[in-house]
Amino acid sequence: LGDFLCACVYPQHGSHTGGAATCTLDECTIVSNDTAVLSPNMTCYGATFAGHGHQTCRDPNTTEAGDWVCECPAPSHGSATGGAAECEVDECEVGGNADVCVFADPPQDCVDENRTAENDWACVCHAPASGRATGGAAACVLDECEGTCATCENNACGA
């Protein structure tokens, strides 16, 4: 007596001899035989971002259902509960892109205004110069007459 085994029903895990089992459910380990229904792990794995790899599935609480999380691969950032995450990466923080701008002649700022798209970072010239280039150093232009022509005598700025 007392040697009976209580075992959890799949997809839960756990067993106990002589009493009720404590069952856990790591939703990221569930395998779906239905090709129309993706398991949480396959939902995350199937979501890639900008060549940075697959998202990973994590179940923060194995005693609750529906709380699994997809997390973005480094260097991107983002996570979502119950589905694929929208990943973001600041391309000025990776791959030496900021150095391209900072060490340009003249030095420039690196900007990435759309962090969900790739290859859209740009170098932007410091004011009062103007210029912008996507994916590389900009050709900065400084027109000293721009905005000051009203002070030029005899229309020396050519306006």
User: What H or E segment, with its residue span, contains residue 57?
Assistant: strand 56-58
Residue percentage of the chain with pLDDT more than 90: 43
Per-residue confidence (pLDDT) for residue 101, from 0 to 100: 97
What residues have CB less than 8 Å from 144, skipping those under 6 apart? Answer: none
What residues have CB less than 8 Å from 29, skipping those under 6 apart? Answer: 11, 41
Per-residue confidence (pLDDT) for residue 148, from 0 to 100: 57
Task: Say which residue, 23 or 135, is predicted with more confidence.
Answer: 135
- Tens of pLDDT, residue by residue over 36-61, are 566 888 888 887 766 667 899 999 99
Q: Which two tokens stand for residue 108?
A: 């420039």
Name residue 13's beta-bridge partners.
Answer: 24
CA distance 29 to 37: 14
Q: Look at the pTM and tell me if it is higher than 0.85.
A: no
What residues have CB less than 8 Å from 112, skipping those under 6 apart? Answer: 90, 91, 92, 120, 121, 122
Per-residue confidence (pLDDT) for residue 35, from 0 to 100: 58
